[in-house]
Amino acid sequence: MKLAIFGAGYVGLSFAACMAEAGHEVLCADADAARIEGLQQGRMPLHEPGLEALVAAGLSAGKLRFTADERAASLHGDVLFIVVNTPADAQGDVDLRHVMAVARSIGQHRDRDAVVVCKSTAPVGTAEQVEAVLRAALSQRGAAHRVAVAVNPEFLREGSAVRDCRQPDRVVIGATDPAAIDLLTRLYEPFVRDPAKQLLVMDWRSAELTKYAANAMLATRISFMNEMARVAEHAGADIEMVRRGIGSDRRIGPDFLQAGAGYGGSCLAKDVRALRHAADREGQPLRLLAAVEAANHEQKGRLFELMTHHFEGRIANKTIALWGLAFKPDTDDMRDAPSLVLLERLWAAGAHVQVHDPAAMPNARAIVGERGDVRWCDTPEDALQGADVLALVTEWPVFRRPDLARIASTLKAPAIFDGRNLYDAAEVEAAGIAYYGIGRGRSVRR
Ligand SMILES: NC(=O)C1=CN([C@@H]2O[C@H](COP(=O)(O)OP(=O)(O)OC[C@H]3O[C@@H](n4cnc5c(N)ncnc54)[C@H](O)[C@@H]3O)[C@@H](O)[C@H]2O)C=CC1
Ligand SMILES: O=C(O)[C@H]1O[C@H](OP(=O)(O)OP(=O)(O)OC[C@H]2O[C@@H](n3ccc(=O)[nH]c3=O)[C@H](O)[C@@H]2O)[C@H](O)[C@@H](O)[C@@H]1O
């Protein structure tokens, strides 16, 4: 098939490269001309494992092309995907300007029938608006092409975007138009083992709400575990044992039960906020999600609280080695990252910070600039030099098996604040390092 994809971000680019790999002729458009120019020359705008090779393969096979020309993209192919950013403000009001700009552009340029698919995460009712904008733009120039709209939310995770695109757990197809259902079914069939079970066809509104409900459920599980971690800490229990204990119940399942420094990233927080806002407007306040948000807000401050406890409030002039900045491993994405909260608190308390992250330092620098007292370090070891203690915020593989003896001899007051429960507390303590985890009981009893 010939596919046009609007948006070359984390989702659009991963999706475009995977579709090109599957043999489709993909034209990927972005409003950011510099991004497109870079991509045309093989330069990646973001870090996502396996994606660079896939983009290169698509380019050299001639299956994947990039353009900044919205007209060219609007004229390309059978199915046109809208995969642009849909930010939400602090109240949860979603900005649909980019989605509507693409819809308008397709309506202004399209010269034949089309299926237009909304893959961006957008509130219930957006597909209706997209259809109205498309129709208005077509009729303004007297065009009578048939344009069917579908909703096809994306569930990939950053850090495993390529794998998730190649092997989705399920594909939600929100459409009632038979041609749209047929095209999307044929497109996705090769990506799932059992199409009858994994391709879920439903109406627009249910598809739109499914996306928000999925992210809200994931956020709820994380906040639940972070609250249980607090209970564990005070009760002298270990949340890691509790996690295994409940995750082995098939009704609960083992995934997304990891207590930590709070959930970050571009979507969980944004989508919970947007869902609450939409429900509020319908007069249906979501009390559970209000608590999920509040718990996450508190959790992002947890590592700082543990440090305050350790230093008995005297953090000024202490030097903190910080391992990990990205909101999760295998990405350079700093959007809503818990590390940003920790950095601000440390700076406000007068601490010096020495950080290392394998991929996110350029993006982090662009956000915090030289605002606080920070040294950007090329290696994890460099970040330890001259530091009092170590805090881990992102569980990158490179931090998994550190040389504990070396940490003990390098840190001035050896202590590890493990924001992702990555380390074995007994091993760390045996090396002569104080250990603070999230919900590991021992931290508070000390
Ligand atoms: N990042 C993620 O893991 C996931 C994101 N989503 C959703 O997918 C959508 C895209 O997210 P990301 O890829 O993270 O965003 P992103 O911010 O990484 O990329 C969006 C791209 O769209 C481009 N764009 C904006 N207006 C445009 C226009 N009129 N024409 C062409 N390109 C335009 C931007 O320049 C940018 O490169 C959002 O709605 C998000 O909520 C869904 C699942 C996963
Ligand atoms: O809509 C989206 O953008 C995407 O949002 C999340 O994906 P993503 O944000 O890329 O990453 P996650 O793996 O969900 O992690 C989000 C945050 O939760 C934290 N987390 C995750 C899992 C866990 O058990 N505990 C936990 O604290 C991570 O450290 C990270 O900060 C969802 O997992 C995807 O299904 C969805 O498509």
DSSP string, 285-338: --HHHHHHHHHHHHHTTHHHHHHHHHTTT--TT-EEEEE--SSSTT----TT-H
The CATH superfamily assigned to 220-446 is NAD(P)-binding Rossmann-like Domain (3.40.50.720)
Q: What residue type is assigned to position 244 of the chain? A: R
220-446 matches 2-202 in CATH topology: yes
Question: Is 267 considered catalytic here?
Answer: yes
CA 25/CA 3 separation, integer angstroms? 6
Cα(9) to ligand 1 centroid in Å equals 5
Strand order in the sheet with 415-418: 374-376, 352-356, 319-323, 389-392, 415-418, 434-436
Q: What is the CATH number of domain 2-202?
A: 3.40.50.720
DSSP string, 391-427: EE-S--GGGSS--HHHHHHHSSS-EEEETT--S-HHH
Q: Nearest residue CA, atom 37 of ligand 2?
A: 155
Q: What ligand 1 atom has the least distance to the C-alpha of 156?
A: 44
Other C-beta atoms closer than 10 Å to the C-beta of 87 total 14
Contact 108, 69 (CB under 8 A): no
Its ipTM equals: 0.99
Every domain of the chain and the residues it spans: 2-202, 220-446
CA 132/CA 104 separation, integer angstroms? 10
Helix axes 239-247, 204-235, angle to 10 degrees: 140
Q: What is the torsional sign of CA 368, 370, 371, 374?
A: positive
CA 268/CA 121 separation, integer angstroms? 11
Top mutation candidate among 5, 84, 98 for ligand 1, by most atoms within 8 Å of CB: 84
Cα(217) to ligand 2 centroid in Å equals 11
**Does the pTM of the predicted model rise above 0.95?**
yes
Q: State both tokens at 188.
A: 């996705």
Q: What ligand 2 atom has the least distance to the C-alpha of 395?
A: 29
CA 415/CA 437 separation, integer angstroms? 11
Q: Phi and psi dihedrals of 2, rounded to 5?
A: -105, 125
Q: What ligand 1 atom has the least distance to the C-alpha of 84?
A: 22
Overall size of the chain counted in residues? 446
Q: How far, CA to CA in Å, does 317 sit from each of 353, 387, 435?
A: 10, 11, 21
Tens-level pLDDT at each residue, the chain (446 residues): 999 999 999 999 999 999 999 999 999 999 999 999 999 998 999 999 999 999 999 999 999 999 999 999 999 999 999 999 999 999 999 999 999 999 999 999 999 999 999 999 999 999 999 999 999 999 999 999 999 999 999 999 999 999 999 999 999 999 999 999 999 999 999 999 999 999 999 999 999 999 999 999 999 999 999 999 999 999 999 999 999 999 999 999 999 999 999 999 989 999 999 999 999 999 999 999 999 999 999 999 999 999 999 999 999 999 999 999 999 999 999 999 999 999 999 999 999 999 999 999 999 999 998 777 899 999 999 999 999 999 999 999 999 999 999 999 999 999 999 999 999 999 999 999 999 999 998 654 44
Binding site per annotation, positions for substrate: 155-158, 211, 256-260, 264, 328
